[in-house]
Amino acid sequence: MELKVDSHPANLAPVRKAIERFATDNGFDEKSVAEVGLVVNEAMANIIRHAYGNRTDKPIHVTASADHRQIVITLRDWGNGVDPTTLPQRPHDPNTPGGVGLICLRQWMDEVTYAPQPDGGILATLIRQKRS
């Protein structure tokens, strides 16, 4: 599956729904589907907010593939090229919006990598194993 969208917040829900449908069609259970969908939503929101500085006209490419063991999702941006794992982690404050995207990614995905790209931006790869 491949989606090419602009960095507009209106694209969050359609991409999330497409990923959730893809995960469901590939045999992931309801809880896993919801978690993967939320992670993709948060990752895209982080791209919009942080990599693109809330610009709504920048490209985001999303791919998904699956086999009997796992789903692999990639998100590619051409933003500032900052690997979020290199930034200091701010303490989560439930009274302040934001700050949960990376927490969700770390807790619900089995593997997350960020690869700076030679032409700018980041390629994020998210892997989730099927749960028994």
β-strand 122-129 against 59-66: which pairing, if any? unpaired
pLDDT value at 101 more than 80: no
> What pTM was computed for the model?
0.89
Long-range interactions of 23-31: CB distance < 8 A, separation 24+: 23/64, 23/66, 23/71, 26/66, 26/71, 27/66, 27/68, 27/130, 28/66, 28/71, 28/128, 28/130, 29/130, 29/131, 31/131
DSSP secondary structure code for residue 94 in this structure: T
CATH fold for the domain made of 2-129: Heat Shock Protein 90 (3.30.565)
Domain assignments of the chain as residue spans, ordered by start: 2-129
39 contacts 111 by C-beta, under 8 angstroms? no
* pLDDT value of position 96: 56
Average pLDDT, the chain: 90
Q: What is the mean pLDDT of residues 46-51?
A: 93
56 contacts 6 by C-beta, under 8 angstroms? yes
Would you call 60 helix, strand, or coil by DSSP? strand
* pLDDT value of position 86: 78
Q: Using one digit for the tens of pLDDT, what is the confidence trace for 23-44?
A: 999 999 999 999 999 999 999 9
